[in-house]
Chain A
Amino acid sequence: MNTIKSLVLRNRYTLLVTVLAVYVLVLVLEGAITGREVRVIDFDNPFFDLIVRNFEEFMDDSRQNRDADQL
């Protein structure tokens, strides 16, 4: 225990890395256990819907439309 304590408190950088590691570990474990979903930016309004996940589909559609227009 004393070895760990002296290692963590050796200097400011080891302490920072330890705190950040604990912070990330707790968050990732909690996220994995509770199944926190990956969220994307959803922007709804009466005129159109923008969902970032669909952005690539939207780009593909517009590319196909442009090619069709050129033909």
Chain B
Amino acid sequence: MDKFSLLQYRALIRREILEHRNLFILAPTFLAPILFMAMVWIANQLDPDDLGSMISYLAMLFNGLSPVEMAPIFMLGGIPFIIVLFSCAIVYLLVTLYQDRKDSSVLFWQSMPVSNLKTVLTKIVTVGAIAPFFYMAVLFGFYLVTVIWLSILGVSHDIEIAGIGYMFMAAVVSLLLLYISAIVATLWLLPSVGWLLLFSAFARRTPLMWAAGVFIMIGFLEDFLFGTQFLANWVESRANPNQYLIMSFGDVFDRIFNYDMLFGIVVGAILIAGAVLMRRFID
């Protein structure tokens, strides 16, 4: 890849971040303080002695333990962020190409030396690697503030807080696992990503209705005409989050290089190619 292509991708990613900063930056930034305030409120409801013994127990539990082994516990803390990221990703994929045509900015971008393929690939990279990076950055801030708050509470209760340092390290390792999980999830769910992009590029209005309606209709037609359920089986076989959540670094290779993952990427590529070609039809 030459320097000009890298500059083009950099500019396209910057554009995506600027256009969709509400989904990628503001959404987790609003979520983190809400969760922190909820934690503080719950802590205030507890008896001070109970709170002290709870912090003491946490500090003892994590003291001296390997952060890598304890990291999966902190992945649970990221669940609200993952849910918001997932929802924002669906909204982004449905809206992104549709919005380009609606506000006619597609005409401007097509006049630039940027191909439709590069534009669509940038959108996939944005949703799979850039957006999770912002979410993990906010989550890091959330964990940092929480650890500082716990340390202050621990000191005020005369508790040995060395274990809270180990807890923080485990939380940081969990962020890395969550980030890798987000990338693996994007590859695993590439057919869904391609499907949403295809209908975002196709629909003149209500892309969500088109995407959902055509999906249901095709499944119904297959069952009705051929009496088979390969499409439904295919979707069901890829719907389990355990297939793309990475709980240990050793799992990464197995999750990426297996038949189901590679076949999913092929199917996703068909739909993404459709979305790229669909970009030539402008309302």
Binding site for B on A (CB under 8 A): 9, 11-12, 15-16, 18-20, 22-24, 26-28, 30-32, 36-39
Contact = CB atoms under 8 A, between A and B. Distances in A.
B230 interface: yes
Interface string B216-233: 001000100010111101
A30 B238 CA distance: 15
B270 A15 contact: no
Given A28-B228, A36-B230, A38-B229, A16 B270 contact: no
Given A24-B222, A27-B267, A12 B202 contact: yes
B230 A31 contact: yes
A9 B230 contact: no
A38 B219 CA distance: 13
B91 interface: no
Contact of B231 (A12, A24, A37, A39): A24
Interface of B: 198, 202, 214, 218, 222, 226, 228-231, 233-234, 236-237, 263, 266-267, 270-271, 273-274, 277-278, 280-281
A36 B234 contact: yes
Contact of A30 (B202, B263, B277): B263
Given A20-B214, A27-B234, 13 more contacts: A9-B280, A11-B281, A15-B278, A16-B198, A20-B218, A23-B267, A23-B271, A26-B270, A28-B222, A28-B226, A31-B228, A36-B237, A37-B233
Contacts of B226: 28
User: What DSSP secondary structure best describes chain A's contact surface?
Assistant: helix
5 contacts: A9-B280, A11-B281, A19-B273, A23-B271, A37-B233
A3 to B, nearest CB: 17
A31 B222 CA distance: 13
Q: Ordered nearest first, which 4 A-B pairs have the shortest CB separation?
A: A31-B230, A19-B274, A12-B281, A28-B230
Contacts of A20: 214, 218
B191 to A, nearest CB: 8
Nearest to B268: A23
Given A24-B218, A39-B233, A15 B277 contact: yes
B274 to A, nearest CB: 3
Nearest to A25: B270
A28 B198 CA distance: 20
A9 B237 CA distance: 33
A38 B281 contact: no
B266 A27 contact: no
B112 to A, nearest CB: 22
